Amino acid sequence: MGRPRKWTDEQLREAVATSSSWNEVVRKIGRKPNTASRRTVRGHVARLGLDVSHLPPLPEVEPIFSGQVTVPREDLQTAVARSRSWAEVIRCLGQDVNGSAYTRVKRQVLASGMDISHFSGQAWGSCRLEAEGLPFANGKKAEDLHRVGAVAAGQWFLARGYMVALPLETTSYDLVVESDEGFKRIQVKTTRTLQLDGKHIVGLTKTQYGGGRCTVSAGRHGSRTYEASEIDYFFIYTSHAEKYLIPIGVVENSRSIVLDGKYAQYRLPD
């Protein structure tokens, strides 16, 4: 931002008309002659379109508007050539990105007729950056599907405006979801197991420790099916990113199911 002017446009017109050098013009409006003051005066002269044919010729400068000191043309050309957006131009010039800088720089660039066809939109970096590798080289891993299920379920409900809560303690359900009929308990299951015909098989049991109604698979723990008193729905997420929401009443007492045509009505849209 340039300092406030202490002279008027009329005073500048008179100084230009009655002077034989740029230093004389600068002195007549009360400024000390130097490179910066001469550039500022020439910018305002360009804005006013004054006749300076009687003054010594100097390199062309951009018009100055609203009391703002313009950027030297060569610096502006370099910044524009290296940038893809107005924000990048401003940062390349070492200025803060704000509305005033945006208006000033854009007006100066457009007034000079500089090529901006390579601009591609907002980019708030400080000039174009060299590509830098990200510290996340791993690809998708099938064995990590179980970690994705609850996130996929929460995302599906939240995207439709239904609030999702996580239980603070271990329970038979993974999520509590707001619904049109009150809160529902959701147990999330994932599967990457396929039959020969390409249909997914999903297990619907839970691990249980220390006896109870379960099938013992080892000496200390076993598995059992879920009951309607524990959950309301199974949210099933497959390795093909298919989603199902199946009421417990439809599959109660089932240890596993095949996601065939029988369950097509429970498949969720993306």
pTM: 0.52
Residue 175: pLDDT band (50, 70, 90) is very high
Rounded-to-integer distance, Cα 21 and Cα 73, Å:
22
User: What pLDDT, on the 0 to 100 scale, is given for residue 90?
Assistant: 86
User: What pLDDT, on the 0 to 100 scale, is given for residue 260?
Assistant: 95
Span 204-210, average pLDDT: 82
Q: Tell me which CATH code domain 142-266 carries.
A: 3.40.1350.10
User: What residue ranges in 85-173 does DSSP mark as E strands?
Assistant: 164-165
Give the model confidence (pLDDT) of 67-91 as tens digits: 555 677 888 888 899 888 888 888 8
Handedness of CA 232, 247, 152, 173 (dihedral sign): positive
DSSP code per residue over 174-196: SEEEEEBTEEEEEEEEEE-EE-T
Give the model confidence (pLDDT) of 16-45 as tens digits: 999 999 999 999 999 888 888 888 888 888
Compute how many other C-beta atoms are within 10 angstroms of the C-beta atom of residue 18.
10
Angle at the Cα of 199 (from 198 to 205), degrees rounded to 5? 135
Q: Are 255 and 216 in contact (CB under 8 A)?
A: no
pLDDT greater than 90 at residue 203: yes
How do the domains of the chain map onto residue ranges?
Answer: 9-112, 142-266
**42 vs 185: which has the higher pLDDT:** 185
- Distance of alpha carbon 37 from the chain centroid: 42
Give the model confidence (pLDDT) of 128-159 as tens digits: 556 677 788 888 888 889 899 999 999 999 99
